[in-house]
A and B are shown apart, each in its own frame.
Chain A
Amino acid sequence: MKYFSLTLFAVFSLSAFSQSILLKGGMVHSGTGAEATLQDILISGNEIAKIGNNLTINGKTQVIELNGLPVTPGLISPMSNLGIVEINALDVTRDDESDILKAGFSIFNAFNPHSTGIPWNRSNGVTSAITSPGSSSFPMFGLASYFILDGSLEIKGLKDIAMFGRMGASYGSRAETLTILESLLELGQKASNTPVEEILEMRLADQLELQAQDILALNNLVNNGLPFVLETNRAVDILQAIALQKKYGLNLVLSSVEEAPMVIEQLQASGIPVIIDPMDNIPNSFDELGSSLLLGKVLDQAGIKVMFSTQRSHNYHLMRQGSGNAVAHGMSYQSAIRGMTLTVAETFKLGNRGSIIEGKIADIVVWDADPLEPSSFPKFVFIEGKSQDLSSRSTRLTERYTNKDDKPSSYKH
């Protein structure tokens, strides 16, 4: 709980006084991996007060009849740029890169809760997200933070919850990348009993132009179990990553892992969770020759914890389509739901989120149809027990341009 922000607690206690809501008769996917069952969910304040059938309620409770509609925990993106990148090709709208900091670059203070990507993803069922620094040529990009996507200016989330980085093809040799990565981890080891100033004077730290923040982050990574999300694809690189996990006792999460099926036994034994884009079966580089649509299935059948990323331009909700494709190719349905919810919360220690269980925070989505079908859409989105507005710039523009009044569109509002 070291990384838990204070504002999170404050906001929870304030919202505890809002009224109760009963979601009656939904097909509830709890996020735990259990089969869905027809249940009522009583939301009281910001949390899930009760789950069951024929729950008794008081007169003040608002009842919403679901008639069997699917219900899931709010989706959690494990890897996004929400709140820190407005338009990718416009640097002035980007806050995801640093010229000075490396491992210690935190994006937390750049988060803009008014970024248009937030209502868009929220209306599509994503209730919270991990926002990570953009990739750089350095093997560690910096620190990701977790954000609740209710659009509030009082930012709710968890600061600096994971390090993101990459290992594999680069402009130099991957052997060099690996050497630098190991040297950084060794600096992190030293940081447990060496003053930061002293480490900064070491030759490598000096050569790599490391700052105090970088050393503190390396310390958390190596000595305090900070999750390290490392992107890697080539089978032999995955084995190198597993070796690093063992040697330095890292809390490793591997992302992309397109050639994981070739080293599935070692990956399984390592217990490392993974983040994949199940639709990316393109051999985009010579590191990814083994990419395939079967990745989700192979990982799932080995019992490896799978989460979902998507590279599709600000559309983090499309992890539904990605996981749906994984299911179409043999992944289990409930592993897919879990991978978008509880698995993310567990892996990154996001507190009481990611499942529909009594006592958990009420981040809940009611869907108009199968949530893994990309054509389905939320009927209701609850964040911390509050029903969210499902509008976005897209819905406003759609209203404007389907309005046939005979006047300039700038007057249709």
Chain B
Amino acid sequence: MKNILHLSALLLLITSCSDMGTLPNLDLEDQKDYFASTYTPMESEPTLFKSANIYDGLGGEFIGYDLLVADGKIIEFGQALSNSGVKVIDASGQWITPGIFDIHSHMGVYSAPGVSTSSDGNEATSPVTAEVWAEHSVWTQDPQFALALKGGVTSFHVLPGSANLFGGRGATFKNISQNTIQAMKFPDAPHSLKMACGENPKRVYGNRRQSPSTRMGNMAGYRSAWIDAVEYRDGMNERDADQRPTRDLAMDTLKGVLDGEILIQNHCYRAEEMAMMIEMSKEFNYQVTTFHHAVEAYKIADLLADEGICAAMWADWWGFKHEAYDMVPANIAIIDQARNGTGCAIVHSDDAVGIQHLNQEAAKAMAAGNRAGYSISKAHAMKWITSNPAKAAGVLEHTGSIEAGKDADIVLWTHNPFSVYARAQQVLIDGAVAYDMNDPKKQPITDFDLGIINPQINRVQ
């Protein structure tokens, strides 16, 4: 993301300076990364969790291990680690997992209360709005952030809605409520581009008697935009600044995809439509990172595995629309097990309640898979809500697993997290205690929550 934003800033300079007929002496290091993350971790102290049971988020299970975090990072985990000079938490009999990562959230862009003035997720004024950025809509005081945190969610990816063929850019956040968007943004996380297949765009625009009103209209809309984007990209690569096109925000986003810097997060339910989107990605030479909702992903599980595309799914939602009719609860497991277990399955929420219980959603999906004949362990299923979504958001090098050197984004659970009775006891973000179920001072209260019931009573959590 840094690169493309540098480039964008550079282009601004070029257009303004080219009038003078000379190219400025550009120093890339001096270019400001507009809207970049200013996130800094909260204060933390070196902590050793003793005798915990650990799912590392990569498929590993470690019983009775110690985990050391310090300076915001995971230092090491192993048996009988030295506890000198660090805070010690007895975690015997409890479970530790990586922080939960939701790849599909609308928190902040569809804030609670869900009133018209907070409905900021769909720029439903044109089928192609690749120019909008979800982060420019986010309300930092959305009370849903704190509820998700209580469910163990340490990071999440906020997407625009699915009214449009190209809905705009998505962004990744650390789950610490702050007063600016930039202060919440996950450092160095790439942007995504939200695309949407099927019923939503054709309904929204078809009802207005404009294109697209059909699925074929959807395809024509995407392809026309990609043709423009290829031309724009090629134009921007011209050596002669005078030959370059005027900067265009929507085209910047599509160009970012073509350049491999912006990841495609594609709302798409039906099998044949997902296959069509893959074909289109080959026509214009870009990669689809994830299909979202993907209720029919199981019908093309091998294709998705072969193409290295993740599918982010619900455990059991169906029937609310026609393209969500063919739900099978083994969908997630079938994707996971495709091509000898090389598939990339993700459990997503798309919902402010669901995001609080992604561990339970993973439990349902694992159980359904095992009923369908697979042998999927809890340790393995943990990937669906940790490392796989972190990979799909382009931040796996920072979070999503318990490995030395990664951000200390972890959850200490009261019970095994695949049980409905499990609650997050402590949630650490970059090593700092962002939530502690036993310490009211370590439970965030947004401005919205503060004193809203009556001046002395905060909204209960």
Using a CB–CB distance below 8 Å, which chain A residues touch chain B? 86-90, 116-117, 261-262, 279-286, 288-294, 312-315, 318, 321, 324-325, 327-329, 372-377, 393-394, 397-398, 401-402, 409
One of B299, B329, B419 near A401 (C-beta < 8 A): B299
Interface segment, one of B47-55, B66-74, B278-286, B319-327: B319-327
Are A280 and B114 also in contact (CB < 8 A) when A87-B320, A328-B423, A397-B328 are? no
List of B residues within 8 angstroms of A90 by Cβ? 321-322
A117 touching B319 in the complex, CB below 8 Å, given contacts A285-B113, A285-B115, A393-B326: yes
Residues of chain A within 8 A (CB-CB) of B87 are none
Contact of B353 among A88, A116, A280, A313 (CB under 8 A): A280
Q: Which residues of A contact B317 (CB under 8 A)?
A: 312-313, 315
At the interface, yes or no: B420 with Cβ under 8 Å from chain A?
Answer: yes
Is B360 located at the chain interface by the 8 A CB criterion? yes
Of the listed stretches B219-227, B256-264, B361-369, name the one at the interface; the rest are far from the partner chain: B361-369
Residues of chain A lying within 8 A (CB to CB) of residue B113:
283-286, 288-289
B residues less than 8 Å from A372 (CB atoms): 420
A325 interface neighbour in B199, B357, B373, Cβ under 8 Å: B357
B88 contacts chain A at the CB level, 8 A cutoff: no
| Residue pair B363, A279 in contact (C-beta under 8 Å) | no
Chain B positions 285 through 321: 1 when the CB is less than 8 Å from some CB of chain A, otherwise 0: 0000000000000110100000000000000111111
* Closest B residue to A400 using CB positions: B299
Assembled-state Cα–Cα distance A312/B319 (Å): 10
Which chain B residue has the least Cβ–Cβ distance from A287?
A: B113
Contacts of A318 in B (CB 8 A): 316
Can you sample 16 A-B contacts with CB below 8 Å?
Answer: A87-B319, A281-B353, A281-B461, A282-B112, A282-B147, A282-B353, A283-B113, A285-B114, A312-B316, A315-B316, A315-B318, A397-B298, A401-B299, A401-B334, A402-B373, A409-B299
Within 8 A of A (CB), among B368-426: 371-373, 418-423
Contact A314 to B319, CB < 8 A, known contacts A89-B199, A282-B147, A289-B459:
yes
Least distance between B413 CB and chain A CB atoms (Å):
11
Residues of B within 8 A of A374 (CB): 360, 363-364, 420
Contact A281 B420 (CB under 8 A): no
Report chain B residues within 8 Å CB of A279: 353, 356-357
Say if the beta carbon of B453 comes within 8 Å of chain A: yes
Indicate whether B144 reaches chain A with its CB closer than 8 angstroms. Answer: yes
In Å, the complex CA distance between A329 and B437 comes to 12
Q: Are B363 and A373 in contact (CB under 8 A)?
A: yes
Contact of B420 among A117, A373, A377 (CB under 8 A): A373
Contact of B298 among A88, A329, A401 (CB under 8 A): A401
Q: How far is the CB of B94 from chain A (nearest CB, A)?
A: 15
Whether B453 contacts A289 by the Cβ 8 Å rule is yes
In the bound complex, how far is the Cα of B450 from the Cα of A29, in angstroms? 42
Chain A CB within 8 A of B460 CB: yes
B329 & A394 in contact (Cβ 8 Å cutoff): yes
Q: Known interface pairs A314-B318, A315-B317. Does A394 touch B327 (Cβ–Cβ under 8 Å)?
A: yes
